[in-house]
Amino acid sequence: MATGIRDKVAIIGMGCTRFGERWDVGGEELMVEAFTECLADAQIDPSDIQAAWLSTCLEEVGVGKSAIPLAVTLRLPLIPVTRVENYCASGTEAFRGAVYAVASGAYDFALAMGVEKLKDTGYGGLPNPGSNFGTLSWLWWPNVTAPGAFAQLATAYAAKYKISEDELKRAMAHVSVKSHANGALNPKAHLRKPVTESQVLNAPIIAYPLGLFDCCGVSDGAACAIVTTVEKAKQLGKKDFVTVKALQLALSAGEEVGFNSWDSDHFLTTAQASTRAYKEAGITDPRKEISMMELHDCFSITELVTYEDLHISERGNAWRDVLDGFYDLRGGGIPAQVDGGLKCFGHPVGASGLRMLYEMYLQLHGRAGDRQIENPKYGLTHNLGGFPFQNVCSIAVIGKYQ
């Protein structure tokens, strides 16, 4: 009988590069930068690593289609290395592979690495989705842009719950102001300048009602984790180590675009994956038990709606919680985007899931500096790849071993 992943796997090391326009390095150097920090944190020998997973999404402009670049770059000695990709959830997918491999008993130590090198394309956003996403693009997503699709999410959400234009814009602005304030405290963040509500509200419109500050950009960066069994972590003398409490994945199966039951104001995948994750982690009241979150804030409206899909804010009331400061770093109930989120830490697609886990890991060890949260118990990460009407959602929950 399946029992889930709770407390079966320990995270003993993590590393993350500075995200940004890293013109000075390639994907290989980014992997070395993240791995060097991770290995020093884990305090094991590289030869102890028995298997590895590499995540990169847009291989046409990055490190390529295979897993060989990770093996060659880190000089991994003829061990199995697997390359995975699952849109914006790719980093968490690499982590999931490493975690399940250790939990199965196949390996004692496994590595998960996520990397993306996007800025060298000379293009401001992601490359043409037609070339990267294949059949889905041409059959299901013709003429779709990410800002346009998520702008429709915003208008549908406002219409369903009868939220005024002013209320919605102010709530989305607060989401962005919060992320910029948190990112300013993070030396590894891509964007480190605070912004005001006025700046957000008066910025150029990208796709109504989303303005410039409602949209995240893309970055260069890498992040990684080394995982092992709880028994091995104890043998290594690790104390107060972090374990995986839950890992859940949910993918659209056609309901959103194929039927009329979905009204475009929320994410079916997030609602399902989070419910399963809470059950796996033994969490009965996420609003009271979750200490902090890193959500997939590709757009401010995505973060806002996700609060409801995670069953933390009541349906139609997330905008009120946002304006009340419930998700703020200081004085809030559950701080969100503690490190600046996709909006300000950055979004190297294949690395983002592991970057989120990196922040939760630092917080749980009390190593987050000026943005440290007091006595965190559970950290939740959420990735969303694709569009509101067809996507992949990944949820992870980590916390101290009990």
Whichever domain contains 307, its CATH number is 3.40.47.10
The answer on 377 and 264 residing in a single domain is yes
pLDDT of residue 129 exceeding 70: no
Of the candidates 179, 175, 397, 363, which has an alpha carbon nearest to the alpha carbon of residue 289? Answer: 397
DSSP-derived secondary structure letter, 350: G
- 311 part of the active site: no
**Mean residue pLDDT across the chain:** 94
Q: Residue 335 to residues 118, 186, 243, 313: CA-CA distances in angstroms?
A: 29, 15, 21, 13
Region of poorest pLDDT, from 85-94, 127-136, 170-179: 127-136
129 in a domain, yes or no? no
Q: Quick one: 192 and 292 in the same domain?
A: yes
Q: Taking the CB of residue 146, how many other CB atoms lie within 10 A of it?
A: 20
Instruction: Name all contacts of 160-169 with Cβ < 8 Å and 24+ positions apart.
Output: 160/263, 160/265, 160/316, 161/265, 161/315, 161/316, 163/316, 163/319, 165/209, 167/319, 167/323, 168/209, 168/319, 169/201, 169/209
| Residue 128 reports pLDDT greater than 60 | no
Q: Does the model's pTM come out above 0.85?
A: yes
Q: What is the pLDDT of residue 63?
A: 84
Q: Are residues 115 and 154 in the same domain?
A: no
346 lies in the same domain as 302: yes
Q: Is 347 a catalytic residue?
A: yes
Q: How confident is the model at residue 93 (pLDDT cuts 50, 70, 90)?
A: very high
Residue range 139-159: mean pLDDT, rounded: 84
Q: What percent of the chain has pLDDT over 90?
A: 85
No. of helices (H) and no. of strands (E), the chain: 15, 11
Could you tell me the CA-to-CA distances from 222 to 82, 84, 174, 196, 310 in Å, in that order? 17, 15, 28, 30, 27
Judgement on whether residues 263 and 190 belong to the same structural domain of the protein? yes
Inform me whether the pLDDT recorded for 132 exceeds 70.
no
Boundary-marking domain end, from 235, 265, 296: 235
What residue type is 86 in one-letter code? N
Helix or strand run (H / E) with residue 251: strand 242-251
The whole-angstrom separation of Cα 337 and Cα 72 is: 34
Residue 138 lies in a domain: no
Alpha carbon distance 166, 95 (integer Å): 40
Instruction: Verify that 207 and 340 share a domain, yes or no.
Output: yes
> Which of 63 and 401 is assigned the larger pLDDT?
401
pLDDT at 141 over 80: no
Domain check: are 178 and 258 in the same one? yes
Q: Cβ distance 216 to 347 under 8 Å?
A: yes
Cβ atoms of 329 and 181 within 8 Å: the answer is yes
Domain membership of residue 135 (yes or no) is: no
Query: Does one domain contain both 50 and 184?
Result: no
Decide: helix, strand or coil at residue 60: helix
Q: Which member of 266, 347, 382, 393 is catalytic?
A: 347
DSSP symbol at 260: S
What is the bridge-based pairing of β-strands 210-211 and 292-294? Answer: unpaired
104 shares its domain with 155: no
Q: For residues 198 and 334, state if they share a domain.
A: yes
Sequence-ordered list of residues with C-beta below 8 angstroms from that of 39, at least 6 positions apart, any chain: 13, 15, 46, 226
Q: Given pLDDT bands bounded at 50, 70 and 90, which one contains residue 87?
A: very high
Asked, for residue 96, whether it belongs to a domain, the answer is: yes
Same domain, 16 and 76: yes
**Is 336:294 a contact under the CB 8 Å cutoff?**
yes
Catalytic residue among 16, 38, 88, 298: 88
C-alpha–C-alpha distance, residues 392 and 384, integer Å: 6
Residue 388 lies in a domain: yes
Q: What is the pLDDT of residue 302?
A: 98
Within this chain, do residues 16 and 36 fall inside the same structural domain, yes or no?
A: yes
Q: Which of 177, 203, 235 is the last residue of a domain?
A: 235
Number of structural domains the chain divides into: 2
Any domain includes 137:
no
Residue-wise pLDDT for 112-122, tens only, equals 999 999 887 66
Nearby residues of 213 by Cβ (< 8 Å), 6 or more positions away: 173, 176, 180, 195, 199, 200, 203, 300
pLDDT of residue 134: 53
Find tokens 């008993």 and name the residue. 105
Q: In this model, does residue 137 exceed pLDDT 70?
A: no
Residue 58 pLDDT: 85
Q: Is the pLDDT of residue 133 over 70?
A: no
What domain range is 302 assigned to? Answer: 145-213+245-400
Q: CB of 116 within 8 A of CB of 354?
A: no
pLDDT digits over 229-275, tens only?
999 999 999 989 999 999 999 999 988 888 788 889 999 999 999 99
